[in-house]
Structure 1
């Protein structure tokens, strides 16, 4: 379960974010905060995994609030002001959503927050580090949360990618390079222009083939150097 709070002085923004989160499994709203001081009070006695944070708010600005947290949880900035993006990345913000944003862009930001490793915090300790990380995949208007550890390999088919897991195959409308950017890159390895594999599921490597469970994955000539790195 991903516990989150919304820190924004606009009621409309709260409604949009909550509606988007309600489309995803395992997202739990802990509190609606309409200014940063309210968020500080809540975080002093509670823990969350993710903060959706506006920048321009009364009393205390978003980034000033963020600087008061010694080791904050994952933060996705939601704002109408693009000029603050650089400062946000300097504060290790996970992603920067420029209002108005659509669901697809929102989903990409959430996936980035879920699949990246967080530092533990004394006031808002992130438990994504110890819990199994996952990603939300869209297929036929349905959003499925898939544990990263269950993904065996990816197979590209034009503008679609087959995500083959231990239990099922999910086809998503996305390019394999874009999907790999969202996944934890240290856990996956592209071995062919149309294939990427999860390192942990590699059973054996022989010649130009990789065996994962009962699947044979080809190794492209241009990607052989990626394979040799596995043996160092």
Structure 2
């Protein structure tokens, strides 16, 4: 499947206002999702679907007048469906209706991202531009990086980045002031970050060498977080850190 450009249009159907606020915040954090439309019951959703097209439907089950599964049986949809509910017992019925994923409330952001990755086509990675410090020589190491996320380019000091974690089609950049979700791939981030300062330690993790506090045989302590060392990366990690792997 070739990468898509987006932005994708999303419709949330839920009778709880707080659920709309949470999903809206999650969608706004992903640069390829447009701000969502909101329906507070199935009948309102039917009206919107008759007038507009959407790329993704986020659907609650327990709603007045017409429940989520009854709604799915009564309409013909051309977009994928992610169910959001507090009730785990209906999961099998949901997959029989070909929903893409089944999210249990409260939904974490990481779980939401995985569900969106499963439902939508992969996104073409955005460019990630390294910016050298003002006045630095052309071949000097960059001190900051512009990272696209939340429809902006955020400039991060390299010294503030602790590690980068792959999350489906996206990366989560963990920094001192919080996290940024970017459509850049982990391999793309690895190419953008200076190899002298960052080390790939796992298929899903890239860490700042200066932020490593301790090393065990299978993991690193990076700040307050534990990052796994992938078995296929262990030899190169220990060699790069000049640690005797046999005694790790």
TM-score for the superposition, normalised by structure 2: 0.54
In structure 1, stretches of 5+ residues that fail to align are: 117-130, 163-172, 178-191, 195-232
Query: For residue 37 of structure 1, what is the aligned residue in structure 2?
Result: 43
How far apart are 1:56 and its partner, in Å?
Answer: 0.7
1:143 aligns with 2:188: no
After superposition, what is the alpha-carbon deviation per residue over 1:104-138, rounded to whole angstroms, capped at 9, x for unaligned? Answer: 1111111212237xxxxxxxxxxxxxx85992221
1:50 aligns with 2:94: no
Mapped contact 2:24–2:36 kept (Cα < 8 A): no
In structure 2, stretches of 5+ residues that fail to align are: 1-6, 126-167, 192-198, 207-225, 234-248
**Cα distance change, pair 9–175 in 1 and its aligned pair in 2 (3 A):** farther
RMSD: 3.5
Distance 2:108 2:95 in 1: 21
Count, aligned residues? 157
Moved over 3 A (4+): 131-134, 150-153, 158-162, 173-177
Q: How does 1:17-166 map to 2 (within 5 A)?
A: 17-115=23-121, 135-140=169-174, 141-146=179-184, 157-158=201-202, 160-161=204-205
Query: For residue 128 of structure 1, what is the aligned residue in structure 2?
Result: none
Larger Rg: 2
Mapped contact 1:7–1:54 kept (Cα < 8 A): yes
How far apart are 1:14 and its partner, in Å?
Answer: 0.4
Mapped contact 2:61–2:69 kept (Cα < 8 A): yes
Distance 1:109 1:23 in 2: 15
Mapped contact 1:77–1:97 kept (Cα < 8 A): yes
Mapped contact 2:202–2:229 kept (Cα < 8 A): no
How far apart are 1:78 and its partner, in Å?
Answer: 0.6
Mapped contact 1:5–1:29 kept (Cα < 8 A): no
Mapped contact 1:77–1:95 kept (Cα < 8 A): yes
How far apart are 1:26 and its partner, in Å?
Answer: 2.3
TM-score for the superposition, normalised by structure 1: 0.57
Mapped contact 2:27–2:36 kept (Cα < 8 A): no
